[in-house]
Amino acid sequence: MAIVNLGCPKNLVDGERMAGLLAREGFRITKDPRRAEVVIVNTCGFIGDAKKESVEAILDAGELKRKSCRALIVSGCLAQRYFKDLSGELPEVDAFVGIAELGRIAEAVQGARIGNRTGRRDYVTHAEASLAFYPRRLSTPKHTAYLKIAEGCDNRCAYCAIPAIRGRMRSAPLEGLKAEARELARKGVRELHLVSQDTGRYGEDLFGERRIVELLDELSEIPVLEWLRLLYLHPAHLDGALVAALSTNPKVCKYVDLPIQHISDRVLRAMERKVGGKEIRALIKRIRARVPGLTLRTTLLVGLPGETEREFEELLSFVEETRFDRLGVFRYSPEEGTPACRMKDQVSEEVKAERQERIMEAQRLISQRLLVRKAGKKLKVLVDEASPKGTAVGRSEGEALEIDGVIHLKGRARKGEFVTARITGSDDHDLYGEIVGRES
């Protein structure tokens, strides 16, 4: 049994839960699809490039089915969103499993293995994504994990299909999250990445008010956990209480993932983002003033229909003046059923690519200059990889797993331990250093 996970960390958690359910039923899990009897492709359906990658992964698994494996199952957002189309175009798929039916993955696998006498049986409904705390088999290093605290989204940005795929925002029960975190800690996890589509709003639907700070406080009581990292903080929902927690709670990483998408007021209104450029600038200034040592990451979207060269230049200038520590750029992808898909003045793919490249080049230079300043500093580093030859790779508070750069280290270390490293150099995105002590 092999699971190929694609897309965001939230989808990865779904894949880990499927793996946990299958392991509980006695199925053996391998990381190599070529050795698997059954291959599950857990897809992403967010934007065009992700959908293309997912289809290519399904076709690759289809080739394996013709050579070695017995069954192919497709799950995740692409399966949920395009089930009717895919079921007719991909006869090699033995079952589709939607995001609400993860709990039936063992049933789907068993049926695919023995062959369904009445033809393919699929598990796709229009129900919202599951919030169930199924057992998990981690695909991350055993010392770090994602904790999915909510499903769905209520923001309904004009370009985004997530609400149509995953449904309205629903927070996971607080007690369930605490229990899952304790179980992960028992297994050796020392760092949790808290993820959802809108992390700052955690608890609104359950309690009538945001409870993300309370959740952080509760998780901080788990002794083994050292770092709690927040991802996906919508700028409209990052309030003063959460900023205070970032400043005062020693276990909360001074790391803010703030996807602003743009800075032009007109473009932000067209995106239906709920905040304007003035509010974004004020929020960034306030966070940086109240959280010394902050690492600030953002995500941008270029090429929304109607985005002019002048509006793009405004965004580029903002990036250069704000100097984000980390930054990613997506090209706008027309998504069926979204308001932006019906907008006039679609921007050409060539212009989108050129704008993306210009911002990333500006960010490369910014990152280079910011990282050079870290030379000589000592950082607490969590070791992700360690070699007997006396080298290691890790991350500080300023690097999220598989999203940001890493720190290349000289010195002996154990995977999963915290060390003190003196920074000796850098390149465009990574740091280099030497281990000078042990944190624990």
User: pLDDT for 238-274, tens place per residue?
Assistant: 999 999 999 999 999 999 999 999 999 999 999 999 9
User: Do 187 and 315 reside in the same domain of the chain?
Assistant: yes
Report CA dihedral (407, 410, 412, 413) to the nearest 10 degrees: -10
Chain centroid, CA 272 distance in Å:
22
pLDDT in tens, 75-87: 999 999 999 889 8
Model pLDDT, residue 66: 87
Pull the structure tokens for residue 112.
């695919």
pLDDT band for position 118 (cuts 50, 70, 90): low
Task: List Cα–Cα distances, 353 to 115, 260, 302, 333, 386, in angstroms.
Answer: 45, 19, 9, 12, 37
How many other β-carbons are positioned within 10 Å of the β-carbon of residue 107?
16
User: Do 9 and 57 reside in the same domain of the chain?
Assistant: yes
pLDDT in tens, 389-432: 999 999 999 999 999 999 999 999 999 999 999 999 999 999 99
Model pLDDT, residue 47: 85
Pull the structure tokens for residue 388.
């007997």
Pull the structure tokens for residue 402.
């598989």
| 138 in any annotated domain | no
Would the pLDDT of 179 be above 80? yes
Choose among 231, 27, 255: nearest CA to 145: 231
Rounded average pLDDT over 321-349: 96
| 293 in any annotated domain | yes
Measured CA to CA, the distance from residue 254 to residue 227 in angstroms comes to 10
pLDDT band for position 440 (cuts 50, 70, 90): low
User: Do 208 and 268 reside in the same domain of the chain?
Assistant: yes
Would the pLDDT of 119 be above 90? no
Tell me the pLDDT of the chain averaged across its residues: 95
User: Do 361 and 393 reside in the same domain of the chain?
Assistant: no
User: Do 170 and 99 reside in the same domain of the chain?
Assistant: no
The number of folded domains in the chain is 3
Domain containing residue 102: 2-114
How many other β-carbons are positioned within 10 Å of the β-carbon of residue 428?
12
Pull the structure tokens for residue 185.
């800690």
Q: Domain end: 372, 389, 424, which one?
A: 372
pLDDT band for position 121 (cuts 50, 70, 90): confident
Rounded average pLDDT over 111-125: 76
| 21 in any annotated domain | yes
Model pLDDT, residue 113: 78
Q: Do the beta carbons of residue 267 and residue 309 sit within 8 Å? A: no
Please name the residues in contact with 192: beta carbons below 8 A apart, sequence gap of 6 or more. 144, 145, 146, 147, 181, 184, 219, 225, 227, 228, 229
Rounded average pLDDT over 153-168: 94
Measured CA to CA, the distance from residue 295 to residue 312 in angstroms comes to 25
Model pLDDT, residue 218: 98
| 130 in any annotated domain | no
Would the pLDDT of 276 be above 80? yes
User: Do 198 and 280 reside in the same domain of the chain?
Assistant: yes
Model pLDDT, residue 334: 94
Q: Domain end: 114, 135, 157, which one?
A: 114
Pull the structure tokens for residue 373.
């300043």
* Alpha helices by DSSP H, 48-172: 48-67, 77-81, 83-89, 105-114, 162-166
User: Do 385 and 270 reside in the same domain of the chain?
Assistant: no
CATH number of the domain enclosing 304? 3.80.30.20
| 362 in any annotated domain | yes
Angle at 302 between CA 297 and CA 307, to 5 degrees: 135
Measured CA to CA, the distance from residue 201 to residue 238 in angstroms comes to 8
Please name the residues in contact with 424: beta carbons below 8 A apart, sequence gap of 6 or more. 375, 432, 433, 434
Model pLDDT, residue 201: 97
User: Do 259 and 334 reside in the same domain of the chain?
Assistant: yes
User: Do 286 and 399 reside in the same domain of the chain?
Assistant: no
Q: Domain end: 372, 391, 410, which one?
A: 372
CATH number of the domain enclosing 406? 2.40.50.140
| 126 in any annotated domain | no
Q: Give residue 188's region: left, alpha or beta (phi > 0; psi -120 to 50).
A: left
User: Do 296 and 159 reside in the same domain of the chain?
Assistant: yes
- What does the DSSP assignment read for 269-338? HHHT-S--HHHHHHHHHHHHHHSTT-EEEEEEEE--TT--HHHHHHHHHHHHHH--SEEEEEE----TTS
Rounded average pLDDT over 163-179: 95
| 108 in any annotated domain | yes
DSSP state of 46: S
Model pLDDT, residue 353: 98
Choose among 35, 44, 38: nearest CA to 12: 44
User: Do 350 and 216 reside in the same domain of the chain?
Assistant: yes
How many other β-carbons are positioned within 10 Å of the β-carbon of residue 309?
9
- To the question of pTM greater than 0.85 for the whole model, the response is yes
| 120 in any annotated domain | no
Flag the least confident range among 112-116, 197-201, 401-405: 112-116
User: Do 361 and 388 reside in the same domain of the chain?
Assistant: no
Would the pLDDT of 68 be above 90? no
Q: Do the beta carbons of residue 192 and residue 147 sit within 8 Å? A: yes
pLDDT in tens, 26-55: 999 999 999 999 999 999 988 888 999 999
CATH number of the domain enclosing 9? 3.40.50.12160
Question: At residue 309, what is the residue type?
Answer: E
